[in-house]
Amino acid sequence: MTTRTVFGVLALAALAAGGPVQGQAPQPATPQQPPITFRAEVNYVEVDARVLDAQGKFIPGLTAADFQVLEDGKPQKVTAFSFVNIPVERRERPLFASKPIEPDVRTNLEAADGRIYLIVLDDLHTHPLRSTRTKVAARQFIEKYIGSNDLAAVIHTGGRVDASQDFTTNQRLLLQAVDKFMGRKLRSSTMNKVDDYFRNAGTPNAGEKPIDLDDKERGYMARNALDTIRNLSQYLGNIRGRRKALVLFSEGIDYDVTNVFENTEASVVMDATRDLIAAATRANVAVYGVDPRGLTSGGDDLIDVQSFPDDTSTGLGTGSLFNEVRLAQDSLRVLSDETGGVASVNRNDFAGAFQRIVDDNSAYYVMGYYSTNDRRDGRFRKIEVKLNSKPGLVVRARKGYVAARGRAPEVKPAGADAASAELREAIESPLPLPGLPLGMTAVVFKGPAPKGAVVISTLINGSTLPFAESGGMFKNDLEVMAMATDEKGKTTYGDRNSVSLNMKPDSAARVKASGFRVIQSIDLAPGRYQLRVAAREGNTLKAGSVTFDLEVPDFAKRPLSMSNLAITSAMSGIAPTIRPKDPLEKLLPGPLSSYREFTPDDELAFFAEVYDTIKQSHKVEIAATVKAEGGQTVFQAREERDSSERGGGAGGYGFQARVPLKDMAPGLYVLRVEATARVGDRDTTAQEVVFRVLALQSGPQ
């Protein structure tokens, strides 16, 4: 099975060049936005449009009847129409916390209600000394303009998959990827030619046209960056029902394509540019070019120039440096204009540009149609979106797309023993697939050295699970699979589990009310992963997938470390659960819970292990606290353990407690478990989890 991730696409480019009822588990809400889909026939075209009044204000409330879509002047029948209106949600945190605490539960409905951003950092066309400017601008966009409901990924054009981040809602991981950025832009072509001119002065080569010794490499880097963005656009083309924004932080392609006689790679770079625009327009991907230099004319490079040639026939001077900057910025303008985005160049304040990106991707109309022209001739097809009888309003939509060329790709049939087509589609989809709502958590404990044992709990929404009744029994078949992809794109698969549900009416009613849980485990080497779980039900063939950003530590390397917090509750056992592999089965009083909202009549329980590699004899103090939003402590437990208990190697101390919720007011709470070695530097390790206590419902709702 081939799994496509942003990491995998980048590698290819490098090679190329709502609330719960008492006693129930909370069920994920149905997404309010039109669903994201991942299937599309070859002649299906999707175009999004923003309708603005004279003041530039977006106009909501229009219907399909208000629009007319033309392709090359011919009316097209709109078969899919939706209005997308996405609010910007901010990360919730307890009042006493200095920053948000990362959630340890994910659902596949998060992707259904947010914007989709692909942040591309063009290290191939950013000067090393200006790397900080790029990082500052990208961090500003992530920290201030990406909401908690948005999915974003970070990619470097130079092919550094270890510095990239696949799609996530985790702001910390996105910022980590940005902080690894380092520009690799070549020296200015003008400056190289100046050096060549003075190097040849007084030699038999004097008088010859100065050359750029980096021309071949400059052309290669231009093609590589353009091919990377093209492949990423093709990757995003698998996503339908949402506008996709590719935010390109770059100083622009620094290759002069206007002089095809002297610059040997000019025609190849132009072809790569056309291929990129073709791929982006077919995929309905809008490129937003952002020059992190801000207001500039190329003066930064002048400080390295001692003097220019007196011979004006060489064309070398301050004007040629300024022309380089203009051509590079023009490349950002072309990519943005041709794909429906907007370029931000020669601007010191990025706030307006970033807000424009958010606005463009927050409220718009999506229209899909099957083109009446199904020829794969590679030609440009002009798209016009018009309004019927709406004077004074302006429609902003992409200009068109370039048709595919050649034969349509063949779909290879799966083997008899492979996962179902629906499960494969769900687990290989670019984003979490919400067809079957899922909630998932994963905790890492010490496994067979040096690996970590990852325990995964997946809750399938029971209210959306259809049953077929036969002979008084309610039936369905479930198929569940887990996999993990590391930062280099290598994939490790867990077992594929099949479950045949054949239940009496009361059991089926319990599944409908509380869901169905599957607990499995997978051993992974230390490192950073994107964990993905997919599930498919057999009656209507609906499937869903959910992703989880996972870090597996090397527990043997630190003097003191801790597993994640495994949490359950008395009510968690209500949901029917199967445990193909569950190392925590005898350590928790109930199944590992994949939700963090509890009612006051429930009781929370947790388990953690503390790992200790300190050689001398000592004691370890382990303390647990639960704090309310105001910072007051509402629960605490404490134990002291002796190093003689840990056994050999990175031995562990198990720590568990039960937390009654009956006296806790509705609101957010933070459970913190901290361990401190009472020896030497008093090493400390801790884990935190946020949970919510809900108001107890009384009477029928």
Distance CA 687, CA 314 (A): 65
- Burial-class residue 299 by CB neighbours within 10 Å (0-12, 13-18, 19+): exposed
CA 467 to chain centre: 33
Confidence at residue 301, expressed as pLDDT on a 0 to 100 scale:
63
Q: Residue 161: what pLDDT?
A: 82
Tens digits of residue pLDDT in 414-447: 433 468 989 998 888 878 888 899 999 999 999 9
Mean pLDDT along residues 271-280:
95
Omega within 30 of 0 (cis) for the link into 309: no
The pTM of the full predicted model, rounded to 2 decimals, is 0.86
Q: In 3D, which of 683, 694, 689 has the Cα closest to residue 100?
A: 689
The pLDDT confidence band at residue 660, using thresholds 50, 70 and 90, is very high
> Does residue 51 contact residue 394 with C-beta atoms inside 8 Å?
yes
Residue pair 250/291 in contact by the 8 Å Cβ criterion? yes
Q: Where in the chain is the domain with CATH 3.40.50.410?
A: 116-360
The predicted structure's pLDDT at residue 701? 39
pLDDT of residue 93: 66
Measuring CA to CA, how many Å separate 453 from each of 134, 220, 447, 489, 521? Answer: 38, 43, 4, 20, 7
Q: Which of 90-94, 363-367, 528-532 has the lowest mean pLDDT?
A: 90-94
Distance of alpha carbon 17 from alpha carbon 269, whole angstroms: 11
Q: Residue 343's closest CA among 292, 400, 281, 271?
A: 292
On whether the CB atoms of residues 290 and 344 are closer than 8 A, the answer is yes
Cα(589)–Cα(145) distance, integer angstroms: 42
Is residue 15 pLDDT above 60, yes or no? no
User: Higher-confidence residue: 135 or 262?
Assistant: 135
CB 650 within 8 Å of CB 658: no
Q: Which amino acid is at 345?
A: V
Query: How many Å apart are CA 282 and CA 38, to the nearest integer?
Result: 14
Output the six-digit token pair for 160. 């550094």
What's the pLDDT score for residue 700?
43
645 φ, ψ (degrees, to nearest 5): -80, -15
Q: Is the pLDDT of residue 115 over 70?
A: yes
Read off the pLDDT of each residue in 406-416 and give the average, rounded to a whole number: 55
- Assign residue 141 a region (left: φ > 0; alpha: ψ between -120 and 50; beta: otherwise): alpha
Backbone angles phi, psi at 496, to 5 degrees: -95, 120
Q: What's the chain's average pLDDT?
A: 88
Kind and range of the H or E element at 522?
strand 516-524
Lowest pLDDT segment from 367-371, 642-646, 654-658: 642-646
Reported confidence tier of residue 259, pLDDT bands at 50, 70, 90: confident
Predicted local confidence at residue 599, as pLDDT: 94
CA distances in angstroms from 433 to 153, 155, 536, listed in the order given: 17, 22, 11
Q: Would you state the pLDDT for residue 240? A: 82
pLDDT tens for 216-255 read 999 999 999 999 999 999 988 878 888 899 999 999 999 9
Task: Report residue 536 as tokens.
Answer: 């498919």
CATH fold of 421-693 reads Immunoglobulin-like (2.60.40)
Sheet holding 400-402, edge to edge: 74-76, 67-71, 380-387, 400-402
Q: Give residue 305's pLDDT band: very low, low, confident or very high (50, 70, 90).
A: low
Asked which of 171-180, 301-310, 342-351, 556-565 is least confident by mean pLDDT, the reply is 301-310
In the predicted model, is pLDDT for residue 648 greater than 70? no
Q: Which of 469-473, 643-647, 680-684 has the lowest mean pLDDT?
A: 643-647
pLDDT digits (tens, 9 = 90+) for 134-167: 999 999 999 999 988 899 999 999 988 888 999 9
Average pLDDT of the segment spanning 537-544: 95
CATH T-level assignment (fold) for domain 116-360: Rossmann fold (3.40.50)
More confident residue, 97 or 533: 533
What is the pLDDT at residue 299? Answer: 59
Q: What's the DSSP call for residue 407?
A: S
Q: Which of 467, 505, 601 is nearest to 20 (CA)?
A: 601
Smallest Cα–Cα separation from 464: which of 476, 482, 453?
Answer: 476
pLDDT at 409: 59
Asked if residues 45 and 368 have their Cβ atoms less than 8 Å apart, the reply is yes
pLDDT at 578 over 70: yes
Instruction: Give the tens place of pLDDT for each residue, 335-361.
Output: 999 999 999 998 888 999 999 999 999
Q: Are 530 and 165 in contact (CB under 8 A)?
A: no
The widest CA-to-CA distance across the chain, in whole angstroms, is 100
Task: Report the DSSP beta bridge partners of residue 317.
Answer: none
Read off φ and ψ for residue 370, nearest 5 degrees. -95, 115
Residue written as tokens 């380089």? 324
Pseudo-torsion of CA 245, 251, 253, 259, nearest 10°?
A: 140
- 629-636: average pLDDT: 93
Distances (CA, A) of 443 to 362, 460, 560, 650, 685: 34, 18, 18, 18, 16
pLDDT at 142: 96
Residue 314 to residue 326: CA distance in whole angstroms: 19
First vs last Cα of the chain: how many Å apart?
A: 46
Asked which of 24-28, 220-224, 692-696 is least confident by mean pLDDT, the reply is 24-28
Q: DSSP character for 189?
A: H
User: What string of DSSP letters covers 609-670?
Assistant: EEEE---S--EEEEEEEEEETTS-EEEEEEEEEEGGGS-SSSEEEEEEEEEE-TTPPSEEEE
pLDDT for 528: 93
Query: What pLDDT, on a 0 to 100 scale, did the predictor assign at position 114?
Result: 86
Those residues with Cβ within 8 angstroms of residue 503's Cβ, 6 or more apart along the chain or in another chain: 467, 473, 474, 475, 511
CATH 2.60.40.10, the chain: domain bounds: 421-693
